[in-house]
C-alpha cells in the first residue's frame, strides 16, 4: 500500500510544472536607429553620472539623498516585502507539516439516558501532512507573478532613486544660477545707490531737476525689492535640497557658487539601449510579465487541484495510554478538487486578468513613447540652449559696456538721466537672463541624464 502511495506521489510530482496559460514573451518595440539630434560620442569610465559635473559638493549632496531620503527608504522596504511574497507563494508548492495536540473533557446530559458516569476525557495529538501537486502550474504561476512584481518593485525603487538624485542636481544648479542673479542684483543695488548720491549732488547744485532724483530712488527701491524676492527663492531651494537629502530645513545651509560655463557633454548611446537603461521601462515591462502570470493563474483555476496528504497520531481516554500502540491512528491518500460550477466566477476572473494584461501592455507601449520623446526633448534643448546661452553672453557683455558708456556720458553731461536708467535696466536684465539660460542648460543636461536612465556605458 505504501509503495503504491509513493509511486503515485512520484508520478504526480514528475508531471507537475506543466503550466497552463499564455507563455510570456517581452513585447517587441520598434526603436529608431538614431536620434534626430546629433549626440556626442564621449568615452567615459565614470562610476556615477554626477561625476561628469566635477562638483564635489553636488556629489556629496547626491550621496546624502541616496542614503538618507525617507521616501527612498520606504520604497526600499516595499522591495523587501515583494521579495518576502515570493517566498510565501513558493511555499504553496512545498509539503506542509502541521501538528496539533488537544485535551477534551465532556459531560453529557443525563436526559439522554446514558448509564454510568457521563464524564469523559480525551487526549489526542496528531501531525498533518499536505502537499499540493502543481500539475497544471497554479503554484508556478503564483511564483512567476510574485517574482515579476518583486522585480517591478525594485525597478520602481531604482526609478525613484534616479529621480531623487537628479532632483538634487536640478535644484542645486537652480540655486547656483540664482546666486549669480543675486550677485548681479547686489551689484545693481550698489550701483544705483552711487547713482542716487550723484543725482542728489547734481540736484543740489541745480544741474538736474527733482525728476531725476525721483527716478533714481524708484530704480533703487525696485532693485532692493527684487533682491528680497531672490533671497526668498534661494531659501526655498535650500529647503527643497534639505528635504531631498533627508535633513531638517531649519539647520540646513549650503554655500553655492555662481553657475558659469556650459555643462559636460552627455553621450546618449543608441536608442535601442534605452529600453534596458531606464528603470521606469523595466518596471512597466516587469508589471506586464506579472499580469501575464496572473492570466496563467486564472487559467489554472479551471483545472483540477490535487493534494496528497495524510495525518497520524495518538488518541486515548487516559494520558497514561497515550503512547500505547493501540492508541495510534493514521490516514493518507490523494484529494482531488475539481471546480464544476462556479456561477461564472472563474471565467470572470480570467477575463479580468486578460483585460489587466492588455492594460499593462498599453501602459508599457505608452511609457516607451514617452521615454523616446523625453530623450529627444533633452537633445533638442542641448542644441538650442547652447545657441541661446552664446547669444545671451554677447548680449550681456554689450549691455554692460553700454551701461558704462552711458554712466560716463551722464557724468559729463552728454546724455540725460533717462538714457542712463534705460542702459542700467538693460544691463541688469541681460545679466539675469544669462544666469537663467545657464540654469536651464544645466537643468536640461540633468534631464537628459534622467531620460537615458542615468548611465551611458
Give SS3 for 344: coil
Mean pLDDT of 410-432: 82
| Percent of the chain scoring above 70 in pLDDT | 90
In this prediction, residue 7 carries a pLDDT of: 44
Query: What confidence tens digit (pLDDT) does each residue in 93-147 have?
Result: 777 777 877 778 776 655 555 555 556 778 777 788 777 787 888 888 888 899 9
Question: Strand 305-316 relative to strand 96-107: parallel, antiparallel, unpaired?
Answer: unpaired
Mean pLDDT of 411-421: 78
Residue 121, number of CB atoms within 10 A of its CB: 12
Mean pLDDT of 415-433: 85
Q: Where does the pLDDT of residue 261 fall: very low under 50, low under 70, confident under 90, or very high at 90 and above?
A: confident
In this prediction, residue 117 carries a pLDDT of: 53
Residues 359 and 66: their CA atoms lie apart, in Å, by 32
46-50, 123-127, 292-296: which has the highest mean pLDDT?
292-296
Are 290 and 149 a contacting pair, CB within 8 Å? yes
What integer best gives the mean pLDDT of the chain? 84
Element of type H or E holding 307: strand 305-316
In this prediction, residue 110 carries a pLDDT of: 58
What residues does 125 pair with on adjacent strands?
Answer: 101, 314
In this prediction, residue 165 carries a pLDDT of: 95
Would the pLDDT of 273 be above 70? yes
Would the pLDDT of 68 be above 90? yes
In this prediction, residue 41 carries a pLDDT of: 66
In this prediction, residue 6 carries a pLDDT of: 44
Would the pLDDT of 322 be above 50? yes
First vs last C-alpha separation in the chain: 63
Per DSSP, 147 falls in state H
Mean pLDDT of 203-228: 85
Mean pLDDT of 193-204: 82
Would the pLDDT of 168 be above 80? yes
Task: Enumerate domains of the chain plus CATH numbers.
Answer: 28-83+138-299+352-451 (1.20.1600.10)
Residues 306 and 133: their CA atoms lie apart, in Å, by 6
Mean pLDDT of 360-383: 93
Mean pLDDT of 82-86: 88
Residues 279 and 302: their CA atoms lie apart, in Å, by 36
Would the pLDDT of 425 be above 50? yes
Q: Where does the pLDDT of residue 332 fall: very low under 50, low under 70, confident under 90, or very high at 90 and above?
A: confident
Sequential DSSP letters for 196-254 = HHHHHHHHHTTSS-HHHHHHHHHHHHHHHHHHHHHHHHHHHHHHHHHHHTT--GGG---
Would the pLDDT of 182 be above 80? yes
Amino acid at each position: 500500500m505504501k509503495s503504491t502511495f509513493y509511486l503515485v506521489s512520484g508520478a504526480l510530482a514528475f508531471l507537475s510544472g506543466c503550466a497552463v496559460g499564455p507563455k510570456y514573451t517581452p513585447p517587441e518595440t520598434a526603436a529608431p536607429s538614431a536620434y534626430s539630434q546629433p549626440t556626442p560620442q564621449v568615452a567615459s569610465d565614470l562610476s556615477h553620472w554626477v561625476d561628469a559635473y566635477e562638483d564635489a559638493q553636488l556629489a556629496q549632496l547626491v550621496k546624502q539623498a541616496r542614503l538618507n531620503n525617507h521616501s527612498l527608504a520606504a520604497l526600499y522596504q516595499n522591495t523587501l516585502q515583494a521579495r518576502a511574497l515570493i517566498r510565501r507563494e513558493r511555499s504553496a508548492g512545498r509539503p506542509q507539516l502541521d501538528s496539533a495536540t488537544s485535551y477534551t473533557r465532556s459531560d453529557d446530559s443525563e436526559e439522554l439516558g446514558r448509564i454510568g458516569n457521563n464524564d469523559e476525557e480525551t487526549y489526542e495529538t496528531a501531525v498533518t501532512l499536505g502537499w499540493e501537486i502543481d500539475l497544471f502550474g497554479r503554484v508556478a504561476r503564483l511564483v512567476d507573478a510574485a517574482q515579476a512584481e518583486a522585480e517591478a518593485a525594485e525597478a520602481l525603487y531604482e526609478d525613484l532613486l534616479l529621480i531623487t538624485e537628479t532632483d538634487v542636481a536640478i535644484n542645486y544648479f537652480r540655486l547656483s544660477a540664482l546666486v549669480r542673479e543675486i550677485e548681479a542684483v547686489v551689484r545693481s543695488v550698489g550701483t544705483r545707490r552711487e547713482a542716487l548720491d550723484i543725482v542728489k549732488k547734481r540736484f543740489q547744485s541745480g544741474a538736474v531737476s527733482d525728476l531725476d532724483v525721483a527716478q533714481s530712488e524708484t530704480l533703487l527701491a525696485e532693485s532692493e525689492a527684487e533682491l528680497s524676492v531672490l533671497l526668498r527663492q534661494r531659501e526655498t531651494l535650500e529647503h527643497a535640497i534639505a528635504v531631498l537629502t533627508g535633513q531638517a530645513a531649519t539647520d540646513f545651509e549650503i554655500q553655492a557658487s555662481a553657475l558659469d560655463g556650459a555643462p559636460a557633454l552627455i553621450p546618449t548611446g543608441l536608442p535601442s539601449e534605452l529600453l534596458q537603461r531606464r528603470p521606469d521601462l523595466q518596471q512597466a515591462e516587469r508589471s506586464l510579465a506579472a499580469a501575464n502570470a496572473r492570466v496563467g493563474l486564472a487559467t489554472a483555476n479551471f483545472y483540477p487541484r490535487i493534494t496528497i496528504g495524510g495525518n497520524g497520531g495518538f488518541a486515548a481516554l487516559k494520558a497514561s495510554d497515550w503512547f500505547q500502540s493501540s492508541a495510534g491512528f493514521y490516514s493518507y491518500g490523494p484529494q482531488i478538487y475539481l471546480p464544476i460550477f462556479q456561477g461564472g466566477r472563474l471565467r470572470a476572473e480570467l477575463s479580468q486578468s486578460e483585460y489587466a494584461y492588455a492594460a499593462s501592455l498599453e501602459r508599457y507601449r505608452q511609457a516607451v513613447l514617452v521615454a523616446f520623446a523625453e530623450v529627444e526633448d533633452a537633445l533638442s534643448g542641448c542644441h538650442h540652449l547652447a545657441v541661446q546661452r552664446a547669444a545671451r553672453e554677447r548680449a550681456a557683455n554689450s549691455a554692460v559696456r553700454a551701461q558704462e558708456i552711458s554712466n560716463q556720458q551722464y557724468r559729463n553731461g552728454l546724455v540725460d538721466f533717462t538714457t542712463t536708467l534705460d542702459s542700467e535696466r538693460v544691463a541688469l536684465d541681460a545679466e539675469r537672463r544669462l544666469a537663467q539660460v545657464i540654469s536651464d542648460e544645466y537643468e536640461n543636461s540633468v534631464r537628459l541624464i534622467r531620460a537615458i536612465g542615468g548611465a551611458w556605458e
